[in-house]
Amino acid sequence: QVQLVESGGGLVQAGGSLRLSCTVSGRISGISDMAWYRQAPGNQRDLVARISRGGITKYADSVKGRFTISRDNAKNTVSLQMNSLNLEDTAVYYCNAECFNGRRWENYWGQGTQVTVSS
């Protein structure tokens, strides 16, 4: 079973910083793209940032210049450094990864972690 475990969510004041981490474990032999998504109440689940195995990144316009995605291929982890947080960043953040489980490539999701930005 492939599992994605997230950590780092919580409550932070506007203008502050937070770092999210996600570790992939289980019977996997490879990981392609890894990404962070977020979903606020009543909204769609939107891409925040994506990073390929080779380190190519893509960011949503709303977070560009404030958030940084990174990964450690040896540890099967992906992180999201969030700076200059504002109220609009409040959402549930989900880790996502494309993994080879020994039989096929499949898309996996974490359970989500709450990020709340206060004024």
Please report the pLDDT score of residue 80 as a whole number.
98
28 close to 107: Cβ distance less than 8 angstroms: no
Average pLDDT of the segment spanning 96-107: 95
Predicted pLDDT at 63: 98
CB-count exposure of residue 52 (10 Å: 0-12, 13-18, 19+): middle
Alpha-carbon dihedral of residues 60, 105, 71, 63, nearest 10 degrees?
10
Q: What is the pLDDT of residue 9?
A: 97
105 pLDDT higher than 90: yes
Q: What is the mean pLDDT of residues 90-109?
A: 96
Is the model's pLDDT at 57 over the cut of 90? yes
The pLDDT score that the predictor gives to residue 1 is 84
Phi-psi region of 10 (alpha: psi -120 to 50; beta: other; left: phi over 0): left
Give the pLDDT of residue 2. Answer: 93
Residues contacting residue 15 through CB under 8 Å, at least 6 positions apart: 84, 85, 86
> Is the pLDDT reported for residue 72 higher than 90?
yes
